[in-house]
Structure 1
């Protein structure tokens, strides 16, 4: 099964004059019972945060929270002693576990553009923990490659670790070029196009669109034009949750 969801059909939210978000799944005041999660992927938000604004201290529990910075900076502070500045090319993973609070603020003048993804963990009752990595995934050396950003596969190196049998990739494919991801029919994949245009298993996908794939053995990504995208590979259900 391959399902295209155009940008025009996704939920757009605005908070005051400081936050513009696209919600790929039900979140906050947007609820669609047919669009709650995709395997263990529960939240996928594309946020644009104006300068000197952000999210004050707030709690999480029993969730793996991943932040990917596309542009600008975001300052993170939490209740277990971490205070870091996330910059473009950085990836952050928070294991909320038994309880965790944090804040995320854009303390600069320029807009911060970030992705936030939440995953149901593969085990309950984990101790809260935090990881921050500079993967520099937007570097041109990764052209026509899938760059793993966060994963539950311990065989992958230099990647943030996720307590879920899932992997998030960043991709940059040139016009006329192709990247393939081998997967399994028991898994699911979601592709969200950031810029440009792609053929995903022969389905045309444009910037802001998403495509969800099930029961596929290969995800084929062909650049109709030069494109950047996020690919999330997940199990159909998360074991032990």
Structure 2
């Protein structure tokens, strides 16, 4: 099954204080029982943080949180001793486990554009942990670059406690980037820029395609395009 969800079908959050966001799944004040999750992927938010604003300190537990910075500089602080600045091309991974308190803010005069994804973990009761990795993904061309994974076949990638992998993809017009998977897994593609043809279904900027029961996902550029590909099991084991 292949399902196209267009830009206009995303939920536009009503936020204040320099924050703008679209939610791909039920989150905060948006609730749709038919759009709660995608395998273990529970949250996928497309966020903009204005100058001198952000998300103040707040708690989380039992979640794997991935933050992908596309532009701007994000300041992270938490109660387990981490204080970092995450820049474009870097990926932040946080295991909230038994509980962590953190803030994500913009301390500059330039807007930040980031993506935040939350995964249900495959193990509960883990100690909180944190990692930032520079993958240089923004330099990709006609390829998929893994950003985080719980599949140990991939090396030099930030590890999450979920049998899932997040890729950043780039494809030029007329070229194709294939992705091989299994029918027991699911694939979500979110178009950041440009447009693509995914198994003969066209998706434009900010559209998403959700695929089930596929073994090969062909991603062809109908214009120069960048996108996020999320590969997940249909159900996360051991949760």
For the aligned pair, the TM-score class normalised by the smaller chain equals: over 0.9
2:210 matched residue in structure 1: 212
Question: Does 2:120 correspond to 1:117?
Answer: no
2:191 matched residue in structure 1: 193
1:86 matched residue in structure 2: 86
C-alpha separation in 1, matches of 2:14 and 2:192: 19
- What do residues 75-132 of structure 1 show as CA deviations (whole Å, max 9, x unaligned)? 0000100000000011011000010110000000010000000000001111100011
1:148 matched residue in structure 2: 146
- What do residues 186-231 of structure 1 show as CA deviations (whole Å, max 9, x unaligned)? 0000000000000011100000100000000011100000000000
Question: TM-score under structure 2 normalisation?
Answer: 0.99
Q: For structure 1, which runs of at least 5 residues remain unmatched after alignment?
A: none
Q: SS of the counterpart of 1:138?
A: helix
1:232 matched residue in structure 2: 230
C-alpha separation in 2, matches of 1:3 and 1:19: 29
How far apart are residue 69 of structure 1 and its match?
Answer: 0.1
Question: Does 2:65 correspond to 1:65?
Answer: yes
How far apart are residue 146 of structure 1 and its match?
Answer: 0.2
Q: For structure 2, which runs of at least 5 residues remain unmatched after alignment?
A: none
How far apart are residue 17 of structure 1 and its match?
Answer: 4.3
How far apart are residue 14 of structure 1 and its match?
Answer: 3.1
Q: Give 4+ residue runs of structure 1 displaced > 4 Å after superposition.
A: none
C-alpha separation in 1, matches of 2:153 and 2:63: 23
C-alpha separation in 2, matches of 1:137 and 1:109: 24
- Please, which of 168, 171, 174 is the counterpart of residue 170 of structure 1? 168
Question: TM-score under structure 1 normalisation?
Answer: 0.98
How far apart are residue 60 of structure 1 and its match?
Answer: 0.5
C-alpha separation in 2, matches of 1:14 and 1:53: 15
C-alpha separation in 1, matches of 2:38 and 2:84: 30
Q: SS of the counterpart of 1:240?
A: coil
1:49 matched residue in structure 2: 49
C-alpha separation in 2, matches of 1:132 and 1:95: 12
C-alpha separation in 1, matches of 2:16 and 2:55: 12
C-alpha separation in 2, matches of 1:7 and 1:58: 29
